[in-house]
Structure 1
């Protein structure tokens, strides 16, 4: 689990030096793993860009030769040097253009391969992470990783890398050519590079912090937008539009201010670059002019030296823009590498135990569970649920009912003790066998975009249409499905928007029953149903739960009537255990709850 980046907590825009070094190493490891399969293409691309850059840089040297050697020869009626210079200039220009086009195509292929790999890794990895991660890492931040962060990396890969590689090589080859042509002019250029290095370092230090803050501000904007749109019913129900407007406005202002400060840095850096370029050209021209007058330098060499000096600074502005893309992409890669560094808190077993067919006996042995060391939710307890028994968990909100159910589903592992299915520790069971044997239906009743039949078939992808219909009939969903515009082929739209909350719950029941698990957990699963629908579902439950273990969590005590056994929980402890009839006839907590419920019906 990553502790430096604060993935589980609030993202920060500043880190200590040690943290920054660790994060950079982590990001570089990720980048290296992405590029490693493409190393052959990378080497070929590098070779092409080196040759193309050398061809481009050769131009001024060829011009110097044409002037200093070709013109005197031409005056002697020897046109060969001038002709050779013109032909060489044309050939190097053509070769450079062709190789650059080839390089851009190869670089684009590498960029797309890296982005596809990274996008797939983020999706697959976040899908594998445990429920604990998803309950603490908001959906908006996950979406930010897959959208704005990956877009920042895409911009760098598509354009920034081209600017960097070609710019750096161009400057390097230009400096080499200048020194080779006239070392004194190269010395003049070197003098101007000293303040340039100091300016670039100043820009780097300040922009790094600002671009990291920019990525955090962008992520907060996305989180706020996604959460507002996802919870739009609650927003409108509680009339919180004005509050959200203020919050979103503050986030927009923060994002604008950060980007304005970043642009302010460019407003200083870019003009300073241009000014230093003018100073360098002026210095080479002035000193070179005196040397030409003294006969120590030829005119063609001076012209080439001036051209090389001017060309040396040409990529500087592009490199400054690259640094903009680089800082955004580096910050984005830090965030993504932090997510990919996360390890499931419920890891798959290294040597899984197969359980092809499960009877459904669930046993808790000396189990204790705590989200944090100082927050024990379930104190140490034992529990044995025989195969085929229907158990109802009853208790006030926060009593630990859902936590107990999540331990059975292995959404969490116990802090201590063992949870077993048919004598096999859930931590050792093969994940496929576990998911096949235990199914949990929650009150959320999430439906995916697609048809009703597709959503039911999620419980058994290979199911036939007849099996899907049979599952729907078993839970009382068939009648309303047939009444939909296209029956089982009706598109439920995003989040099941075309069906009511109760109908979504019935579809989720059909999905679970089609999976035919040995253990079925219903966590407040009837909370969205009206009384007639609940009775209809209970009739289906009595039939379908006859040969399987079931754990039902419900506040509605009418649902408890089909249970063989009732467990009353308070503060994480099981305070009562018995059949519904025995507990109702007693004087305990459940009897009081049942009496209050019965009075409420009068």
Structure 2
């Protein structure tokens, strides 16, 4: 199992390690990576996304807990847009005051408006007469400055009020969006802790991290930038259309022609760009997975000289991401220019028709000016919505990927009325246990064994025999297909996972240390331990020896990779952590596989101290480490083929004896097989034959 799949090395499993838990849906022992990051329902989206509208609705439903604040945002937006929409009409009144005053000053006092119009028509200037008919003309009187000042102050008040209302709307909405994203992140974190281990077996860490970081950040950005604008744009369109019909139904009908045209074009473009946005985020996750994998194993990449292959693979994935991102942005980017073009055509038509109506006296110049402003306000929100289409589609595509994680099948829940272990002794019994990672590939069939309290049970066998699977079943990382496992007579499925794992400590061959001090890493095994308890555990496991040689002792900061301590020292730290946890059961999985001979002696002594008075399961390939085990289980193909102590198993001259002799007496090679191997040369990478 990899580090990401295991609980904290050397610590008792607790609620924090539930992310590596069980499932009835599992894979093969080695759990090979199939190349796909996820399978349905938690898989990578295909080339086609989920339905856009259902996904968008599901995303918006996450705002439901904040319905009061959302209602306040809507009300503020209504008043803000309402004040803004009244502005052009008020300013149109100011234009009428200026225009009528400028025209009226050109005529002599004492005449009425009707007399001026009759004289103008009598002089043969009918067009001008019709124009004068449509304005508030007072002959001989210029611009009414008092009325103009009052109108301008009213307009200024409207716009200032709209600004403050809009600011309050944005402030509240920002809080709603950020709290929604906070809840979403918390829900994803909680979901990850409920997913079975099999989910993570097929999930490259880079891809999963991309979903829970990049995609959630993208959702946050999309909601923040689109919600307010969409609401404001919708209300603006409603308010503007209302005012346009009040001013001129004819011009309003002309302006409304652009709506179906805009909707048809936007829908057609959005349908094509949405697919590419899904591809963009899919390729982003794949690229992140490749980068994480390459840099995690950068030493091996350099050792085997595979930098060129890594660079080539990166270039290919980067090119795929570029093409998907370019296509998504280019296609969605066509919406705004098209909307602007339609808006400009609409503006020209309204200006021409409005000018003719002013000339005919059926509309005032101020109303035409206001209507032109409204036409701009009408097309502007449509253009803004179009310009946000790419951001909105990108956000929904990210939401789909996050929803796939949230919809993934969870592990079997704990019993609502769990049992308790009353007589805690550490007796573990397998009763006719059957298990398989794949339904058509049985691994463990009808396995029964008993580990008595205080016994050390060693599990040996070739790779893939099911050794690690056996201890994973004890931890309930996977669920059984048949039979049961009991702890002190209680079925482990009747216990809560927290209760079960709080009794178990694990020391893995892949050590896990987090960024922090040595003291922090040790206390991770038991947060309630005192300083004296920690020092006692460190001394018992030979950690205290090398810690004193470090510059800051127990306050020495270890980075996340543990690169400032050796492999053996890291292993001792994990053993000390398990020692401090004082578990009832102990599982040691190849705990000395990566240390030198001298350190192995120290590790064995430390593990001997740790195993004292505890039921222990030891997985080992080095048979020298388990000679003193009370019971040795020899596994082949998921079955126990031999069991007994070291002396008994050697006397049987069976599977255990073959393993032991292979390590200590030299490998026995079949002469016929060797001759066949020599007769069939193996081609080297350079094409030259090489003897086997």
1:60 is matched with which residue: 88, 94, 100?
A: 88
SS at match of 1:399: coil
Aligned-residue offset at 1:129: 2.4
2:371 aligned residue: 305
Q: Determine the structure 2 residue equivalent to 1:475.
A: 541
The counterpart of 2:623, out of the listed 539, 557, 572, is: 557
Aligned pairs (5 A) from 1:539-550: 539-550=605-616
Does structure 2 retain, via aligned residues, the 8 Å contact 1:346–1:410?
no
| 1:416 equivalent in structure 2 | 482
Q: Does 1:12 align with 2:40?
A: no
Which consecutive unaligned segments of at least 5 residues does structure 2 have? 1-22, 26-37, 101-135, 668-692
Cα 1:240–1:7 shift into 2, 3 Å? farther
1:142 & 1:25 partners in 2: Cα distance?
23
Q: Is the 8 A contact 2:41 2:409 kept in 1?
A: no
Asked whether the 8 Å contact 2:457–2:618 carries over to 1, the reply is yes
Tell me the equivalent position of 1:50.
Answer: 78
What's 2:32 paired with?
A: none
Residue 319 (structure 2) pairs with residue 291 (structure 1): no
What's 2:427 paired with?
A: 361
Aligned equivalent of 1:136: 202
Partner of 1:427, secondary structure, is helix
RMSD between aligned residues: 2.3
Partner residue, 2:168? 102
Cα drift, residue 195 of structure 1: 1.7
Residue 350 of structure 1: how far off its partner (Å)? 2.2
2:176 equivalent to 1:176: no
Output aligned runs, 1:590-601, within 5 Å.
590-600=656-666
- Relative to 1, partners in 2 of residues 1:407 and 1:49: Cα closer, same or farther, differing over 3 Å? same
Q: Matched residues in 2 for 1:370 and 1:581: separation?
A: 32
Corresponding residue for 1:575?
Answer: 641
**Are positions 1:457 and 2:523 aligned together?**
yes
1:393 equivalent to 2:453? Answer no
Give 1:465 shift. Answer: 1.7
- The alpha carbon displacement at 1:28 in A equals 4.0
- Flag the structure with larger Rg: 2
**Aligned counterparts of 2:369 and 2:59: Cα–Cα separation in 1:** 47
Q: Distance in 2 between matches of 1:356 and 1:167?
A: 66
Deviations 1:545-591 (A, max 9, x none): 23111000000001111310110000011000111110012211101
Higher mean C-alpha displacement, 397-406 vs 155-164: 155-164
For the residue of structure 1 that corresponds to 2:436, the secondary structure is strand
SS of the equivalent of 2:413 reads coil
Q: Which moved more, 1:352-361 or 1:271-280?
A: 352-361
Measure, in 2, the Cα distance between the counterparts of 1:422 and 1:460. 23
Look up the match of 2:63: 35
1:434 aligns with 2:500: yes
Whether the 8 Å contact between 1:409 and 1:439 is mirrored in structure 2 is no
The answer on whether the counterparts of 2:55 and 2:399 sit within 8 Å (CA) in structure 1 is: no
SS of the residue aligned with 1:372?
coil
Shift of the alpha carbon at 1:179? 1.6
2:398 paired residue number: 332
Contact 1:221 1:252 in 2 (8 A): yes
Please point out which of 385, 408, 422 is paired with 1:342.
408
Task: Please state which structure has a larger fraction of its residues in helix.
Answer: 1
Query: Does the alignment pair 1:191 with 2:257?
Result: yes
Which string of whole-angstrom CA distances, capped at 9 and with x for unpartnered residues, describes residues 133-178 of structure 1?
A: 2222221122102321122112113222222222222222212211
Q: Does 1:269 align with 2:297?
A: no
Q: Does residue 281 of the first structure (1) align with residue 347 of the second (2)?
A: yes
SS across alignment from 2:263:
helix
Whether the 8 Å contact between 1:8 and 1:137 is mirrored in structure 2 is: no
1:586 aligns with 2:652: yes
Distance in 2, matches of 1:38 and 1:9, equals: 28
2:601 maps to 1:538: no
Q: Is the 8 A contact 2:432 2:445 kept in 1?
A: no
**In the aligned structure 2, how far is the partner of 1:593 from the partner of 1:402?**
18
Candidates 371, 378, 382, aligned match of 1:316 = 382
Q: Match for 1:160 among 206, 213, 226?
A: 226
Q: What corresponds to 2:269 in structure 1?
A: 203
| Residue 69 (structure 1) shift | 6.1
Q: Give deviations 1:508-530, integer Å, cap 9, x for gaps.
A: 11111211111101111111222
Q: CA deviation at 1:459?
A: 1.1
- Structure 1 position 316, deviation (Å): 3.3
In the TM superposition, structure 1's runs of 4+ consecutive aligned residues that sit over 6 Å from their partners are none
Q: Distance in 1 between matches of 2:145 and 2:94?
A: 10
After TM superposition, the structure 1 stretch with the greater mean CA deviation from structure 2, 456-465 or 351-360, is 351-360
What's the offset of the Cα at 1:25?
A: 4.3
Give the 3 Å change call, closer, same or farther, for CA 576–491 of structure 1 in structure 2.
same
* Of 300, 312, 316, the match for 1:250: 316
Distance 1:109 1:128 in 2: 29
> What residue number does 2:10 align with?
none
CA contact 1:365–1:381 (8 Å) conserved in 2: yes
State how far apart, in whole Å, the 1-side matches of 2:592 and 2:515 are: 22
Calculate the TM-score normalised by the size of structure 1. 0.94
Matched residues, number: 595
Structure 1 residue runs of 5 or longer lacking an equivalent are none
User: Counterpart of 1:383 in 2: which secondary structure?
Assistant: strand
Q: Distance in 1 between matches of 2:516 and 2:333?
A: 51
SS at match of 1:364: strand
Contact 1:14-1:209 at 8 Å conserved across structures: yes
Q: C-alpha deviations, 1:319-374, integer Å up to 9, x for none?
A: 22321111111111111111122243343222222236631111111211111211
Is the CA contact 1:355–1:430 (under 8 Å) kept in the aligned structure 2? no
* Cα distance in 2, alignment partners of residues 26 and 401 from structure 1: 44
Counterpart residue number, 1:231: 297
| Displacement of 1:294 | 2.2
- In the alignment, the residues of structure 2 paired with residue 251 and residue 231 of structure 1 have an alpha-carbon distance, to the nearest angstrom, of 18
Q: Identify the range of structure 1 (57-66 vs 509-518) with the bigger mean alpha-carbon deviation.
A: 57-66
What SS does the corresponding residue of 1:342 show, helix, strand or coil?
coil
